[in-house]
Amino acid sequence: MNSIVLHFVPLCIIGFARCLPLDLDMDMTAGLRTSNHVDEGILVEGDIISLKSIHSKNLVRKPSQLWPNKVFPYTFSKDFDDLQKFNVETALRDLAFQTCVTFRERTNEPTYVVFKNYAKICASAVGYADLKNLGGEMPIYVSAPGCVMRGQIQHEVLHSLGFWHEHARPDRNEYVTVHWENIRPGSESNFEPRTWEDTVTLGMPYDLNSVMHYGKKAFSKNESPTLTPKNSPLNENMGQRFRVSKLDIAKLNRLYECDNRYYKGYELEA
Ligand SMILES: [Zn+2]
C-alpha cells in the first residue's frame, strides 16, 4: 500500500464549513496516485490525514493528541454495508483485546471518528484533535474495495491513535536503505525521515514488521525496490498489512499508558 503524508498543510475536511489547520496523512491507493490534491487538502507525503504541525513523527508527543479517556468513539458513514462494518469491527476487536484503549460506537462524545469511503483511499488524521467546534467528525477513510484488509484498517486506526510511519523514524537509515533512484518523481517526500526534535519512540526498537512500515516497492516507478531492509535482506514481512505487530501493540500500550496487564515490550527495550 502506498502512502502520502500531509504535513503542516491546512485542509478542508469534507462537510466542514472551513479549513482545519490539520496535517493530512493519507494512505493512498491507485485512485489518487496521479493527483496531489483531494478534497481534504494537498497531499504531501502519501497516506495520512494528520493534525497540525505539533506532531512528533513516530508517535505523537503531546497528551492533547491522544484520545481522551483512552476512548476511541466511532460511527460509520451511511454507505457502509454490513461487510464493511464487519471488517472494521473485526480490526478494532483485534486491537481491543490487546490494549487498554476502548473502541466503542459513539454516543455523545464531541469529537469522534467516522469511517468513510472516498475514492479508493485509505487515510487518517494522525492523533486526536478537539473538533467539537468544527462539527466533531474525524474522518478515517477505509474505502471499499481498496482498503478493507484488517491490517490496512488497523494502520489507519493507529494513525488516528497517534502513530506515524515506522520508516520515517530518524534512525531508519540504520535499518533500511532508501533507493531514491527508483522512487516515482514527486513522491520522494514519502521517504523523508523525521528528526529527533519532533519524534518520540518511547524507547522501543525499530520494527520492520510494523503495520506502519511501507513495503519494499512503495512508490516505485519501475517495479524495483524503493526500500530494502539492511540487516535482514530476505525479510518478507516489511510492509505487511495482515495485522498489527507485537511491537505496534507495545508502542500503543506505552503511548496510552496502559497498566502492566497489557503487553509493553519490556524485554524489547532499545
Ligand atoms: Zn499511513
Instruction: Give residue 193's pLDDT.
Output: 87
* pLDDT at res. 13: 38
The predicted structure's pLDDT at residue 126 = 84
State the distance from the centre of ligand 1 to the C-alpha of 119, rounded, in angstroms: 16
Under DSSP, is residue 94 helix (H, G, I), strand (E, B) or coil? Answer: helix
Query: What's residue 233's pLDDT?
Result: 67
Q: How many Å lie between the centroid of ligand 1 and the Cα of residue 48?
A: 5
How do the pLDDT tens digits run along the chain, 270 residues long?
333 333 322 333 333 323 343 444 445 432 233 222 222 333 334 566 654 433 334 677 778 889 999 999 999 999 999 999 999 999 999 999 999 999 999 999 999 999 999 887 888 888 899 999 989 999 999 998 888 999 999 999 999 998 888 998 889 999 999 999 999 998 888 888 877 776 778 889 999 999 999 999 988 999 999 999 998 767 778 999 999 999 999 999 999 999 999 999 988 876
Cα–Cα distance between 49 and 21 in angstroms, integer?
11
The rounded Å distance from CA 162 to ligand 1 centre is 11
- Does the annotation count 105 as an active-site position? no
How far apart are the CA of 190 and the centre of ligand 1, in A?
Answer: 10
CA of 47 to the centre of ligand 1 (A): 5
CB of 194 within 8 A of CB of 57? yes
Q: How far is the CA of 19 from the centre of ligand 1 (A)?
A: 22
> At 115, which helix (H) or strand (E)?
strand 112-116
| Residue 11 C-alpha from the chain's centroid | 17
Distance from Cα 22 to the centre of ligand 1, integer Å: 15
Backbone torsion region of residue 52, taken as left when φ is above 0, otherwise alpha when ψ lies between -120 and 50, otherwise beta:
left
Kindly name the residue from 45, 156, 236, 267 that is annotated as catalytic: 156
Q: Which of 88, 117, 123, 116 is nearest to 11 (CA)?
A: 123
Tell me, letter by letter, the H, E, C secondary structure of 161-178: HCECCHHHCCCHHHCEEE
Q: Which residues contribute to the annotated binding site for Zn(2+)? A: 155, 159, 165
Residues at the binding site are 155, 159, 165
Quote the pLDDT of residue 48. Answer: 64
Let me know: does 158 contact 244? Beta carbons within 8 Å: yes
Q: What pLDDT is stored for residue 198 in this prediction?
A: 63
**What pLDDT sits at residue 95?**
98
Give the DSSP letter of residue 49. -
Q: What is the pLDDT of residue 47?
A: 60
Distance from C-alpha of 104 to C-alpha of 34, rounded to nearest angstrom: 36
pLDDT of residue 201: 86
